[in-house]
Chain A
Amino acid sequence: MGIIKLILQLNPYILLGCALGIIIFLVFYLLSKLQKIKLLNDNISQLYRELQELDNQAKLIIQSDMELKLYQEDVEDKLKKLTLLRTLISSSISILDEEELFSKIDEELINNLGFKKSLLILYPTKETKLNINFTSSQIEGFKDLITHSFELIKTSSVTSYKTFVHKEELKESLGEIVNQDFLLAPIRMGKNIYGIFILANCILPRGVTAAEEEIFYIICMYLGQCLDNIKLFESLYKASEELESKVKEKTFQLKKSLDEIKAISKLKSEFISGVSHELRTPLTSIKGFSSLLVAEKFGTLPEEAKERLKKIDTNVDKLVNMVNTLLDISRIESKKVEIKITPTNIVKIIKDVKDFFMPQVNSKNINLVLNTPNYLDVYADNNLIERVFINIINNAIKFTPQGGTITVGCTPKDTHALISVSDTGCGMTKVDCEKIFQEFYRADNALNKKVQGTGLGLSLVKKIIDTHGENIWVESELNKGTTFYFTLKLVK
């Protein structure tokens, strides 16, 4: 109260001044507060804008992150499908049975492809080859659909359910399957349609895309290829079975014929051996007496009788020679001769045979040339190979005209020695060359008719070389000469 009284007692001008001062202070105070409020509002607006900006950035982050994740999922899905395809191919590429091939199309594979159901309807029989999770009424629906739209399905690689849903005429056949997303594709076997493969009820979140259609198309193509292979294999197998049975039949016939030939050959050998043996005893006796008679050991004979006896003696010699050769062949064939194949110096045998034939060679004025190294060891039966040389060189002397040349050669070649006996005689035709080693075969030429022989010598030679497991052959040209070749294994 005292202060109020004091104020009232003051000059009214002072009072007015004080009031004005207070008012001015309050105005300034208010202004400063308003300034602060404005500043705070600005700050709030700034923060709000920043928050909005951050929220906008969050939008960008989520959108980019989602796109990246979708892209990654897509890549992973494609990779997964490629792996699936690789697994399917690797597990079925060598399958050659239809049932086994389709056993690979199981529920797991269909799920991994992104579908729940699958169906394979054969064409044109419309049998159900494969069914995963379809009901019988749904199967009938697809069969109807295939009947109505076969031309469309046949010409397309993959047909999607979208193709059918708007077709009024198919509404009835689609029936239960109308609400399912499915893919249809033909499996081609050669030029024909084997069946229609169906995938349905896509379980992928993004639904059926071009990737699913593409992989389905590849699988259908692959199955068609496998079916082609199976068909090819089956026809090849059938052909090979037929061939095998024919070969078996022919082999049996040949074996039978061979057995018969062997039996006949054995009989022949036994017969020849028996007859030859039986002939040799009286022949020895005949030869003995004929020789004694020709030598006039039983007294002088009239010239005419002596002449006839000489012919008898010569022919007995031939007969004895023939019987001996026949006996040798027969012994070799029946393996009665003991063959001793040992390391032998072939050059020494050749030289011994040359010495043996020198009187004959000289008398016929033939040049017998040896073209051999000093020493060459081969595996051979000494006596039998000597016989080979005697027979071949004897033949050569017979067919080589006076002044001609006989060359005996011997050269090592890889693991074998190649031995040759060439002459400059009349030669043979190709037909003769092929038959020359047959028993009793004699080449049909004028000279041969003059030259005496049994036709058994070369047959014996062939049998001896065969016994050694080696080869013998002849090369000849008419009027130029003949060369006999044979091989013997070299001693290492």
Chain B
Amino acid sequence: MGKEKLAIAFSQNYDTDSAIKMISRNIKSSLGTQPISLALLFFTPRYQPMFIKETLSITLKSENIFAIQSPLLIFQNKIIKRGIVCCCLTKNNISVKSSFIKKTDVTDVEFLFKKNIISLKEKQRFLISSLGPQINVYNYLRGLSLAVGRNFNVFGAGFLKKYGIKNFLVVNNTIEEGLGSIILGGKFNIDNIKVGGFIPLGKKFTITKVALEKNRIIEIDKKPAGLIYKKYLGDKFDLFKKTSMCSFYPIGIKNNGNYNLIHIIDILRDDSLFCIGNIKEKTEAHIMIATQETLLKEVKNAVRYIKNDFDYDVAIIFNSLARRKILKNNADKEIQNLKGILGEKTKVIGLYCDYQIFPSDYIKEFTIGNYFLSMILLKYGDY
């Protein structure tokens, strides 16, 4: 008791205050009186961010609070529809820098991250961001690249605008929708994986024209981009558009043997494809498809590969809501499989989001994905 370097806790109590108190008790019983450097929280809507901040600052007295609101959470081997999940890191050779901005201008992002990165002297560093619906992802990625270069561990969870639900963030004393980030530096081993499970279908095609914002594909093979779906769906294309089924069939861009998946949010009136991401012209792509079996199999393989008899202290998951839509009831199985492979010693927490940001192993830059299970694996110690 009291000798752990990190602890996780979870509560489903209805009222925010009592949920935070319960979490604090459990965290303290694991960490004892050790000073806490970071309280990383994920919470579902209906919990009050203001009470989270106020109660937590009294009960845990953490140096940094970083709380992200999400529609679904992950705790150990379960998906949580209502609750608060918390992971606390002690000050044991860990430094944390947190930041928040409401709107993302490239220079703002660059300045913000540069300032924070410079102040962290540790060799091992990584960054976690939460991007609200109003954040321009393209600006974020450009600003970030300018600030930290392309060879940096960046992870992020992004949220799109949903009816009636705001995506609140608590970054220390700030409670807002926007861009919140923490950079952690210290003596730890960090690994990450992103798991897909989609397979290409049909002939490959070339993205020939992209909008300036890089988030809209205008032409494919020099024809209106939406027609690529029409080619495969024939007279079912109108129903496909009407029912927003495009989220089930992303576009896969081949990248050093792997496919990066582009989430098609909507097919616009001019038949251009509205998506999230940094799309480039003249890239070859496929329409992608997945089944529950391919998704589950891919998670098992990827987690087994990274685990390789090594026990991590904690795994932080940013899972995809679109992926869950395909997995349906098997979404729980995915998390159970994952936890089963990681083992008892690795604590698992996470959230579901609309898109994820992660470092690409091949091209040494940050990429956006919508159908991935992205996982950060941490182990305390000098590696």
Chain A residues close to B by CB (< 8 Å): 51, 54-55, 58-59, 61-63, 65-67, 69-70, 72-73, 76, 107, 111, 116, 203, 205-207
Contact = CB atoms under 8 A, between A and B. Distances in A.
Contacts of A55: 202-203
Contacts of B287: 58, 62
Contact of B163 (A63, A65, A111, A205): A111
A66 B201 contact: no
A59 B230 CA distance: 10
A61 B201 contact: yes
B51 interface: no
A203 B244 CA distance: 12
B149 to A, nearest CB: 40
29 contacts: A51-B203, A55-B202, A55-B203, A58-B201, A58-B203, A58-B232, A58-B287, A59-B202, A59-B232, A59-B234, A61-B201, A61-B289, A62-B201, A62-B232, A62-B233, A63-B234, A65-B248, A66-B236, A66-B240, A66-B248, A66-B249, A69-B245, A69-B248, A70-B239, A76-B328, A107-B164, A111-B164, A205-B242, A206-B242
Contacts of A206: 242-243
B248 A58 contact: no
B244 A205 contact: yes
Interface string B327-341: 010000000000000
Interface string B210-245: 000000000000000000000111101001101111
Contacts of B233: 59, 62-63, 66
A58 B243 contact: no
Contacts of A58: 201-203, 232, 287
A70 B239 CA distance: 10
Given A62-B233, A70-B243, A111-B164, 5 more contacts: A58-B202, A58-B232, A62-B289, A66-B236, A207-B242
Interface in B179-211: 201-203
B202 A205 contact: no
Nearest to A62: B232
Interface string B82-103: 0000000000000000000000
Contacts of A205: 242-244
Interface string B237-271: 00110111100110000000000000000000000
Contacts of B201: 58, 61-62
A436 to B, nearest CB: 72
A78 to B, nearest CB: 15
A72 to B, nearest CB: 7
Contacts of B248: 65-66, 69
Nearest to B202: A58
Given A58-B201, A58-B232, A66 B245 contact: yes
Contacts of B232: 58-59, 62-63
> What does DSSP make chain A's interface, helix, strand, loop or mixed?
helix
Nearest to A72: B328
A65 B164 contact: no
A395 to B, nearest CB: 79
A207 B245 CA distance: 14
B242 A63 contact: no
A58 B242 CA distance: 21
Most interface-central of A63, A66, A76, A207 (chain B CB within 10 A): A66
Contacts of B289: 61-62, 65
Given A63-B234, A66-B236, A72-B328, A203 B245 contact: no
Nearest to A54: B202
B267 to A, nearest CB: 12
A116 B163 contact: yes
B197 to A, nearest CB: 15
Contacts of A69: 245, 248
A107 B242 CA distance: 25
The 3 closest A-B pairs by CB, nearest first: A58-B202, A205-B244, A58-B201
B192 to A, nearest CB: 30
A58 B64 CA distance: 51
Nearest to B203: A55
B273 to A, nearest CB: 16
B223 to A, nearest CB: 16
A63 B202 contact: no
A322 to B, nearest CB: 82
A76 B289 CA distance: 21
Nearest to B201: A58
A203 B242 contact: no
Interface in B93-123: none
Nearest to A207: B242
A70 B75 CA distance: 31
A111 B242 CA distance: 19
A63 B203 contact: no
A79 to B, nearest CB: 11
A62 B248 CA distance: 10
A202 to B, nearest CB: 12
Given A51-B203, A107-B164, A111-B164, A62 B249 contact: yes
A154 to B, nearest CB: 33
A51 B201 CA distance: 11
A205 B248 CA distance: 14
B202 A70 contact: no
A59 B350 CA distance: 36
Nearest to B163: A203
Given A61-B289, A62-B232, A63-B236, A70 B245 contact: yes
A54 B248 CA distance: 20
A65 B232 CA distance: 12
A282 to B, nearest CB: 89
Nearest to B329: A76
Nearest to B246: A66
Contacts of B244: 205
A253 B236 CA distance: 83
Contacts of A70: 239, 243, 245
Interface in B255-302: 287, 289
A65 B233 CA distance: 11
Nearest to A116: B163
Most interface-central of B202, B242, B248, B328 (chain A CB within 10 A): B202
B85 to A, nearest CB: 23
Nearest to B239: A70
Nearest to A52: B203
Contacts of B203: 51, 54-55, 58
A54 B204 CA distance: 12
B246 to A, nearest CB: 10
Contacts of B239: 70
Nearest to A70: B243
Most interface-central of B203, B243, B249, B328 (chain A CB within 10 A): B243
Contacts of A66: 233, 236, 240, 245, 248-249
A73 B328 CA distance: 10
A11 to B, nearest CB: 63
B222 to A, nearest CB: 18
B294 to A, nearest CB: 12
A111 B165 CA distance: 11
Nearest to A204: B243
A438 to B, nearest CB: 70
Nearest to A108: B164
Contacts of B245: 66, 69-70
A50 to B, nearest CB: 12
B36 to A, nearest CB: 35
A51 B204 CA distance: 11
Contacts of B231: 59
